[in-house]
Amino acid sequence: IKVAADCAERMCEVEKDDVKEKTVRPPKLYDLTTLQREANRMFGYTAQQTLDAVQEMYEQKLVTYPRTDSQYLTDEMGESTETLIQMLLGKMPYAEGLEYQPDVSKVLNSKKVSDHHAIIPTMEVAKADIGKLKERNCKILYLISARVLTATADPYIYESHKCQITCNYHTFYLTAKKTKQEGFKAIENKLKQFFGVKIEKEEPELDIWAGKHYGPCDSFVSEHFTQPPKQYTEDTLLSAMERAGNEELTEDTEKKGLG
């Protein structure tokens, strides 16, 4: 309360603004485990429900073999993947108006493909009436299709700001980020909008730099409560099982799917 009173109607100054440009690489294609985790996160589906849906679509020849632990395609699949992407851009309702230049080389690596490559749609989707699929199957197909697009898109690039601000001898810290290149996030956000899923809000245009003054300040006190740790979901449980005994799991660490 004292700090709020000390800063009321006072000017504040940005003493430091540490700016770093950061790059987030596109996600990899789905193996079974990552598909199960995403379906749980997005729709609340259990791992078994996702497996059942993708298995049924595999039998309908709409997707490739589901029980895989690979997240890449073989090197010779480059041309067919480009054709698949063009079909998906015209077929998927969430992709309407989407423009991007896919780089399929990002998903090709025969050395990282075991018995079966990553889960992707087949060209049979072009002839399918997606609206007649079961709701769960349809949503899973949209997820798989969207991942082919995001995995071949540009990285997401943003500026990270860490500011130190002083007001009447009190020090405050502000963190913010500003998008420089939306990249694969544009596709992810289109899919989330299509399903009505909450999208991370973009920071307002930053107008801040070291030495700038703001004010007079409007200060107030707000009350908050700490939250207990979140319970495991199937998403976080699958992740924990996947990383069990290896907290330093990297993209090059051999990873086995579940189910």
Active site residues: 65
- Provide the 8-state DSSP code for 108: B
Q: For the chain, state the CA radius of gyration.
A: 23
Q: Which residues pair with 24 in a beta bridge?
A: 156
CB atoms near residue 108 (< 10 Å): 19
Q: Three-state DSSP class for 11?
A: coil
- Across 129-169, the runs of DSSP E, i.e. the strands, are 156-167
Q: Give Cβ neighbours of residue 2 (< 8 Å, ≥ 6 apart).
A: none
How many CA atoms within 13 Å lie on the side-chain side of 151? Answer: 24
